[in-house]
Structure 1
Amino acid sequence: MDTPLSPHPVAVRTLCEFTARAGDLDLRFTPSPTAQEGMAGHALVALRRPAHWLREAPLQGEHAGLLVRGRADGIDPTAQRIEEVKTHRGPLSNQPANLRALHWAQARVYGALWAQQQGLPDTALLDIALVYLNIDDGEETALSEAHTVQALRQHFQSLCERYRHWADQEHAHRRARDRALQDLRFPHAGFRTGQRELAEACWRAARQGRVLLAQASTGIGKTVATVFATLKAMPEQALDRVFFLTAKTSGRQLALDTLQQLPGHACRALELVARDKACEHPDKACHGESCPLARGFYDRLPQARRAAVESAMQGHALDKAQVRALALDHQVCPYYLAQELARWSDVVVGDYNHWFDLSALLFALQQQEGWKVALLVDEAHNLVDRTRGMHTVALEQTELLALRRPAQPEAIRKAADGLQRQWARLNRSAPAAYHPLEPWPEGWHRALVKLMQALGEHQAEHPTDIDPQRQAFFLNAWPLQTLAERFGSHSLIDLHTTHEGPKPLSRITLRNVVPGPHLAPRLEAAHSLVLFSATLQPWHYHQRLLGLPDDTVCLDVPSPFRAEQLQVQVAHRLSTRYKDRARSLPHIVQTMARQWHERPGNYLAFFSSFEFMHQAGEALQAAHPDIPQWRQERGMREADQAAFLARFTPQGQGIGFAVLGGAFGEGIDLPGSRLIGAFIATLGLPQVNPVNDTFAARMDALFGTGQGHDMAYLYPGLQKVVQAAGRVIRTPQDEGVLHLMDDRFAQARVQALWPGWWSAPKPR
Structure 2
Amino acid sequence: MDDKKIKVSIRNLVEFVLRGGDLDSKFVGSSRALEGTRAHQKLQKKYKQENNIERQYNAEVSLKYNIEYKGFSFIIEGRADGVIVEKEKIIIDEIKTVNKPLELIDENYNILHMAQAKCYAYIYAVQNDLKDIYVQLTYYSISADESKYFIKNFNMEELKLFFLDLLDKYFWWANFMDQWIDKRNISIKNMNFPFDKYRPGQREVAVAVYNTIKQESKIFVQAPTGVGKTISTLFPAIKAMEQGLVSKIFYLTAKTITANVAQECMTNMNNKGLKIKTLVITAKEKVCFKDKPSCNPEDCEFAKGHYDRLNNALNEILSKETLISREVIIEYAKRNKLCPFEFSLEIALWVDCIICDYNYAFNPQVYLKSFFENGKEDYVFLIDEAHNLADRGREMFSAELYKKPFLKLKKVMTKKEPQIAKALTSINSYMIKLRKICEEENRNIYVQKEEIKDIYNLLRRFTKESEEWLAKNNKLEGYDELLQLYFDVLSYTRISEFYDNKFTTYVEKLGDDIKIKIFCLDPSYLLSEVVKRGKASIFFSATLSPISYFKEVLGGNEQDYTMRIPSPFPKKNMKLILANRISTKYKNREGSYNLLSKYIHELVCGRKGNYLIFFPSYAYMRNVYDIFCQEYSDINAVIQENSMSEELKKTFLDRFKNYSETMVAFAVLGGMFSEGIDLKGDKLIGVGIVGVGLPQLCFERDIIMNYFNDKNNMGYEYSYMYPGMNKVLQAAGRVIRTEEDRGVVMLMDERFSNRNYRELFPKHWDANTIARNVKEVENIIKNFWENK
TM-score normalised over the length of structure 1: 0.90
Q: How far off is 1:533 after superposition?
A: 0.8
C-alpha distance in 2, partners of 1:67/1:561?
Answer: 54
Q: How far off is 1:230 after superposition?
A: 0.9
Q: How far off is 1:395 after superposition?
A: 1.6
C-alpha distance in 2, partners of 1:93/1:566?
Answer: 78
C-alpha distance in 2, partners of 1:754/1:138?
Answer: 69
Task: Identify the match of residue 295 of structure 1 among 290, 298, 304.
Answer: 304
Q: How far off is 1:244 after superposition?
A: 1.2
Q: How far off is 1:751 after superposition?
A: 2.0
Q: How far off is 1:124 after superposition?
A: 5.9
Structure 1 pair 106/541, CA: closer, same or farther in 2 (3 Å)? farther
Structure 1 pair 616/158, CA: closer, same or farther in 2 (3 Å)? same
C-alpha distance in 2, partners of 1:519/1:234?
Answer: 24
Conserved 8 A contact 1:419-1:447: yes
Are 2:164 and 1:157 equivalent residues in the alignment? yes
Name the SS for the 1:680 alignment partner: strand
Conserved 8 A contact 1:378-1:531: yes
Name the SS for the 2:323 alignment partner: coil
Counterpart code for 1:59: K
Q: How far off is 1:191 after superposition?
A: 0.6
C-alpha distance in 2, partners of 1:30/1:92?
Answer: 18
CA deviations on 1:667-722 (whole Å, 9 max, x unpaired) are 11112222122111121111111121112222334x32x22222111111111110
Name the SS for the 2:647 alignment partner: helix
Conserved 8 A contact 2:437-2:446: no
Structure 1 pair 446/596, CA: closer, same or farther in 2 (3 Å)? same
Q: How far off is 1:647 after superposition?
A: 2.2
Aligned to 1:451: 462
Aligned pairs for 1:669-680 within 5 A: 669-680=678-689
* Identity across the alignment (%): 28
- Structure 1: stretches of 5+ with no match in the other structure: none
Task: Identify the match of residue 320 of structure 2 among 303, 311, 328.
Answer: 311
Task: Identify the match of residue 321 of structure 1 among 323, 327, 331.
Answer: 327
Are 2:646 and 1:632 equivalent residues in the alignment? no
C-alpha distance in 1, partners of 2:108/2:294?
Answer: 18
Are 2:763 and 1:756 equivalent residues in the alignment? yes
Aligned to 1:333: 339
Aligned pairs for 1:179-578 within 5 A: 179-262=186-269, 263-283=272-292, 285-312=294-321, 316-360=322-366, 362-367=368-373, 371-405=377-411, 406-430=414-438, 431=441, 432-460=443-471, 462=473, 465=476, 467-499=479-511, 504-578=512-586
C-alpha distance in 2, partners of 1:218/1:39?
Answer: 52
Aligned to 1:24: 22
Q: How far off is 1:402 after superposition?
A: 2.1
Aligned to 2:776: none
Task: Identify the match of residue 64 of structure 2 among 59, 62, 66.
Answer: 59
Conserved 8 A contact 1:216-1:222: yes
C-alpha distance in 1, partners of 2:633/2:275?
Answer: 56
C-alpha distance in 2, partners of 1:587/1:108?
Answer: 81
Conserved 8 A contact 1:230-1:374: yes
Aligned to 2:775: none
- The count of aligned residue pairs is 749
- Structure 2: stretches of 5+ with no match in the other structure: 50-56, 772-788
Are 2:699 and 1:687 equivalent residues in the alignment? no
Q: How far off is 1:90 after superposition?
A: 8.1
Conserved 8 A contact 2:100-2:141: no
Conserved 8 A contact 2:287-2:340: yes
Aligned to 2:782: none
Structure 1 pair 421/16, CA: closer, same or farther in 2 (3 Å)? same
C-alpha distance in 2, partners of 1:56/1:531?
Answer: 43
| Structure 1 range deviating more: 226-235 or 579-588 | 579-588
Conserved 8 A contact 1:576-1:584: yes
Conserved 8 A contact 1:494-1:510: yes
Q: How far off is 1:728 after superposition?
A: 0.8
C-alpha distance in 2, partners of 1:579/1:95?
Answer: 71
Q: How far off is 1:479 after superposition?
A: 0.8
Aligned to 2:606: 598
Q: How far off is 1:758 after superposition?
A: 1.2
Are 2:741 and 1:731 equivalent residues in the alignment? no
Counterpart code for 1:554: T
CA deviations on 1:620-644 (whole Å, 9 max, x unpaired) are 2233333321111111122222222
Counterpart code for 1:657: F
Q: How far off is 1:612 after superposition?
A: 0.3
Counterpart code for 1:206: I
Structure 1 pair 371/308, CA: closer, same or farther in 2 (3 Å)? farther
Conserved 8 A contact 2:674-2:731: yes
Counterpart code for 2:252: L
C-alpha distance in 2, partners of 1:97/1:683?
Answer: 69
C-alpha distance in 1, partners of 2:17/2:707?
Answer: 51
Are 2:119 and 1:109 equivalent residues in the alignment? yes
C-alpha distance in 1, partners of 2:370/2:240?
Answer: 24
Name the SS for the 2:324 alignment partner: coil
CA deviations on 1:117-144 (whole Å, 9 max, x unpaired) are xx2112364666668695xx99696867
Aligned to 1:15: 13
Counterpart code for 1:670: L
Q: How far off is 1:192 after superposition?
A: 0.6
Name the SS for the 1:477 alignment partner: helix
Q: How far off is 1:43 after superposition?
A: 8.4
Counterpart code for 2:265: T
Q: How far off is 1:338 after superposition?
A: 1.2
Which of the pair has more CA radius of gyration?
A: 2
CA deviations on 1:433-491 (whole Å, 9 max, x unpaired) are 12224532222221111111111132235567562222221122221121122222222
Aligned to 2:716: 709
Structure 1 pair 747/443, CA: closer, same or farther in 2 (3 Å)? same
Name the SS for the 1:22 alignment partner: coil
C-alpha distance in 2, partners of 1:756/1:47?
Answer: 69
Conserved 8 A contact 2:212-2:219: yes
Name the SS for the 1:656 alignment partner: strand
Name the SS for the 1:647 alignment partner: helix
Q: How far off is 1:404 after superposition?
A: 1.7
TM-score normalised over the length of structure 2: 0.88
